[in-house]
Amino acid sequence: MAIPRIFVSSTCYDLQEIRFQLRNFITDFGYDGVMSEFDDIFYGYDKHVQDSCLDEIGKCQLFVLVIGNNYGSFYHQDKQELKTPDSVTLREFKKALETKIPKHTFVNKYVDYDYKNYKRALEKEILSYFQKNEVSDEKTLEVKAQIKTKFDKSYYFPYESYKYVFYFLEIVYEQKENNAINTFETFIDIKDSLRKQWAGFMYESLTRKEKNVTSLIQPIENKIDKIEKSISKLIESKIIDNENKLSFDLTALSRENNLENLESIQDKINQLLNAVRNYEILTDDGEEHSGQRVYFDKQFTGELTKTWLDSLKVLTQSFKWSKFIHVQTVFKGFPISKYNKWYNEISYKTLFELYTLYNSLVDEDKINLTNTVSEELNKNYEKPLASPPTPKLLINPPDDDLPF
């Protein structure tokens, strides 16, 4: 009976204990772990041992990546290059991307924390430059690379290896699909996450047949229903000049389609603004949890909202290759009072789509959208607590008969 083979990619020396525990966990799960130190890899006689490891990834069904605070050995073909050389682990990750193998990525909790602090500082530097300078789209990447090079020279990295590890993490976080990333402090965190993910995968596999049938039939039913509605709108059954001819009511059909388009745009706007203001997550037990992402201590006027919407142009240009943007950066200079400690990043895609929609409108519709955005942002307005009244002092207190 065939069983899944799972390729484990990480630096070996600093994560040796976790690799050993992972192998036991994978074996106990009934799967085959593939690790270089356990002779699970066939080393071709005509290939470098590193390339033999890369070839093995294509023969596996799952890929587990663990990133600690070390970058690892440089890939042998990159040693002489002037750019930042790939490590063997990074090259394995790139190979997994090429083969489109399902991946699970785990990043050390403290390394991830330091990386995000670094990214926020770098993004602040980039945003400041783009606010002061006009940069064409063709030059955006080149300018950002120059800013980063200069920034890295002055930035304090807690460890020298972080210069390379952060380069690795930037590539990992750039991936848009098949890129579930979790942080870990101990192996228990990795084990619990994999157990839940693989249980979920098993459930999806068992129920996929029924879902596939439904997913094929439902779109067809929707199209047929829409065609029937359009035909009923289009055809008006009456005879013209006593002849067997049909007349067509194009006005009703046009009005109906325009209304549907408008409702679709309205739904999209509400979805985008809700993603800016609030967060929604799915907990480990399958329950949905939501809450406010950001709070304001001053209400947005139409003029202030317009200024914010216009500022998204520079923001989306300078953060073009970032997956998320910190809420402090998104509302820098605006009346933000506090934000959620854990869910404080807004998707770049959300902000890009909001600005693109706003920028595509004529001036009159821009004003209307601005009013809508104002109303939505003001839902996160938190009125400052009033100061307690100052007690009045009696200038001439009344006399009494007490001797003290």
pLDDT in tens, 297-318: 999 999 999 999 999 999 988 8
DSSP 125-184: HHHHHHHHS---GGGHHHHHHHHHHHHHHHS--SSTTHHHHHHHHHHHHH--SS--EEEE
Which H helix or E strand runs over 370?
Answer: helix 363-377
* Overall residue count recorded for the chain in this entry: 404
Domain membership flag for residue 129: yes
Q: Say if residue 179 is in the same domain as residue 271.
A: no
Amino acid 104: pLDDT: 94
Q: Is 26 part of any domain?
A: yes
We report the CATH number of the domain holding residue 111 as 3.40.50
CB-based contact 323:174 (threshold 8 Å): yes
d(CA 282, CA 203): 17
User: Which residues contact residue 251 at a Cβ distance below 8 angstroms, ignoring those fewer than 6 apart?
Assistant: none
Q: What is the per-residue pLDDT for 249?
A: 55
Spacing of C-alpha 282 from chain mean position: 14
> First CA to last CA across the chain, in angstroms?
98
Residues 178 and 264 in one domain: no
Classify residue 219 by its DSSP letter: H
User: What DSSP element (H or E) covers 373?
Assistant: helix 363-377
Both 159 and 280 in one domain: the answer is no
Neighbours of 182 (CB within 10 A): 16
Query: What 3-state DSSP class applies to 7?
Result: strand
Phi, psi of 108 (to 5 degrees): -50, 130
pLDDT at residue 370, rounded to an integer: 93
Classify residue 64: in a domain, yes or no. Answer: yes
Same domain, 29 and 155: yes
- 271 HSE (CA, 13 A, CB side): 11
Q: Tell whether 197 is covered by a domain.
A: no
Is residue 50 located within the same domain as residue 162? Answer: yes
**Does 374 fall in a domain?**
yes
How many domains would you assign to the chain?
Answer: 2
Query: What does the alpha-carbon distance between residue 342 and residue 355 come to, in Å, rounded to a whole number?
Result: 25
Is 343 within a domain? yes
Residue 65 lies in a domain: yes
Note the pLDDT of residue 403: 47
pTM of the model: 0.63
Its domain, for residue 83, covers 5-136+150-185
Work out the widest C-alpha separation in the chain, in whole angstroms: 116
Q: Which residues of the chain carry a pLDDT beneath 70?
A: 79-82, 209-260, 282-286, 385-404
Tell me, what's the pLDDT at 404?
42
Of 124, 159, 185, the position where a domain reaches its end is: 185
> Residue 130: which of 304, 5, 313 has the closest Cα?
313
